[in-house]
Each structure stands twice: as C-alpha cells, then as structure tokens.
Amino acid sequence: MVLEIILTFLKAFAVGGAICLIAQLLINYTKITSGKILVIFLLSGLVLQAFGVYQFIVDFAGAGATVPISGFGYLLAKGAMEGAKESLFKAITGGITAAGMGITAAIVFGYIFAVIFHSRSKKN
Amino acid sequence: MKKRQFYNKNYLEYVKGISPKTNEKRSLFRAFIVGGFICCIGQAVRYALEGIFQLKGDELSAYVSLVMIFLGAFLTGLGVYDRIGKFAGGGSIVPITGFANSVVSPAMEFKTEGYIYGTAAKMFIVAGPIIVFGVAGSVLVGLVYYVGYMIF
C-alpha cells in the first residue's frame, strides 16, 4: 500500500516534470511566449484525448497528467465525448460542463485575490 | 587591426562563457523538478480529498483543480509565485497553478485602471485565448463524435 503510493508520486513527478520540460525546451529553442505555450499544451491535450490517447497517460500518471494545462484540454474533450453519446445538447455543452469547476475557480479566485492583493513588481 | 581582432575574440568568448548554453541545461532541469513537484502536490491534494471527503471520479479531480487554482492564485497574490516562476520557467507555467497565475497577475497589474476595465477585463489576457480555444475545440470534438455515433 505504502509502496503503491510512493510509486504513484514517482509517476506523477516523472510525467508532470517531463511535460514541463517539453515546455521549457519550447521556451529555450523557439521564440514562443508563455501564453502561446499554454494554448499549445491545452490544444495538444484536447487533440490527444479526441484520439483517445491522453486517457492512457492519465491512467498511468494521475495528477502528473491532470495538473498540467494539457489535463484541462483532456477534461474538455472527455466531457464533449461523453456528452456526444447522449444528445446533441450534451455534445455541445459537455466540454465546458466538465471544465466548469476549473474555469469558475480561476475567475472567482482570480478576481478576489486580484482585488485583495497589490502588485509587488512596482514596489521592488 | 590585429590587436583589435584579438580583443573582439576575447570579448566573444567572454560573452559565450557568461550566458546562454550553461543556463539552458539548468533551466530544463529546474522546469522538470518544479513541474514534477507541483504535480506531486496535486497528487497529495488528491489523496487528502479522497481520504477526508470520500470524493470519487470526476468530482474528485474537479476539487483537486479547484484547490490547485486556489493555491496558484493565492501564491500569486502574495508575490511568491512570480519568484517560483523566475526560478522554474516552464515548470511553473504549464501546471494549472500557472493558469491561475496568468489570471491574477495581469488583473493585479492593471488594477489602477479600475475594477471593471482594469481587473475584470485584464484577467483574460492570457486566460481568454485558453478558454476560447478550449471551448471551441471541445465543441468541435463533441460534434464530430455526435455525428460519428449517429452514423455508426
């Protein structure tokens, strides 16, 4: 049991780290800005899941695959694919329903913390 | 003339020695370590929520991203996340905490322009494209699969 948990952490570390390493390679060797990198990783997660590949990475690595932004794309595609089984309505809304928590959290926490805290870069 | 070239050569070697290539390998290493570490925090949050609230499946992963986004937004507010970002580069951008960072950071920066056109509008400088491409892509995937299920 303990060994299993340690192994899960190791897998999450390796896969999550590897995804970030690919991002750093893009930063170092191309002129892609960080905003574009986020979009690229989101879309690659979405496309990989549309072909059914990302599910295997998630099953293997757990949080190592879901915490990076590509996991967000995976969630969007997965929701849409599951909704498509039921109706046209759920095929259209399924993606944003699945990703609803992430988007809501980002907007609500984002706005609250932006109002509470002040930008530090100007003070330093 | 010869002397001048000699100095130029020295200077070029000096420039080479100081910056890029040594840092590139180090930045890759740092991105790997920090990115992996953030994913491990996500895994720990997952185990904690699973143990404490008995959550499962999609609900569990949704609350994990909620907690991670909270942490990312909070640490950005404190100014800690930007320091991690300077150290880690891609390791701090790609995890979902980096998404939260990209929301809060410009929102704080542009607060001087007001709470509506400053904070609320500038929140989406980086997050906007992500939501646009993410939602549009998911609708496309959903429609393709819907048509696919209809035909087959």
- In Å, how far are A69, B84, B104 from A21, measured between CA atoms? 14, 15, 24
- Which among B74, B88, B119 is the nearest to A115, CB-wise? B119
More reliable by pLDDT, B7 or A24: A24
What six digits make up the tokens of A62? 């757990």
* Inter-chain touch A102–B139, beta carbons under 8 Å: no
CB-CB neighbours of B150 under 10 Å: 9
Q: What average pLDDT does this structure show over A87-114?
A: 93
Assess contact for B43 and A62: CB atoms under 8 A: yes
Tokens found for residue A100: 């609803």
B40 in a structural domain:
yes
**Domain tally for chain B?**
1
Asked if A102 and A75 count as a contact pair (C-beta separation under 8 A), the reply is: yes
ipTM, two decimals, is: 0.91
Instruction: Report pTM.
Output: 0.87
Are B49 and B64 a contacting pair, CB within 8 Å? Answer: yes
Q: How many CA atoms lie within 13 A of B118 on its CB side?
A: 11
Give the residue among B42, B96, B54 at the shortest CA–CA distance from A9: B42
Q: How confident is the model at residue A118 (pLDDT cuts 50, 70, 90)?
A: confident
Contact B69, A44 (CB under 8 A): no
Q: Do A107 and B123 touch (CB under 8 A)?
A: yes
Residues of A within 8 A of B87 (CB-CB) are: none
Which positions 33-72 of A are in contact with B (Cβ < 8 Å)? 34-35, 37-39, 41-43, 46-47, 49-50, 61-64, 66-72
Q: Is A66 exposed, middle or buried (0-12, 13-18, 19+ CB in 10 A)?
A: buried
Rg (C-alpha) for chain A, rounded Å, is: 17
Judge whether B29 lies within some domain.
Answer: yes
Is B81 a member of any domain? yes
* Domain range enclosing B55: 23-109
Say what the alpha-carbon torsion angle A19, B39, A17, B57 is, to the nearest 10 degrees: -50
Q: Which of B22, B56, B146 to mutate to test the interface with A (most CBs of A within 10 A)?
A: B146
pLDDT tens per residue across span B64-103: 999 999 999 999 999 999 899 888 888 899 999 999 999 9
Query: What torsion, rounded to 10 degrees, do the Cα atoms A43, B21, B35, A52 define?
Result: 30
- Please give the residue of chain B at the shortest CA–CA distance from A65: B39
Chain A nearest-CA residue for B80 = A120
Q: Is B2 inside any structural domain?
A: no
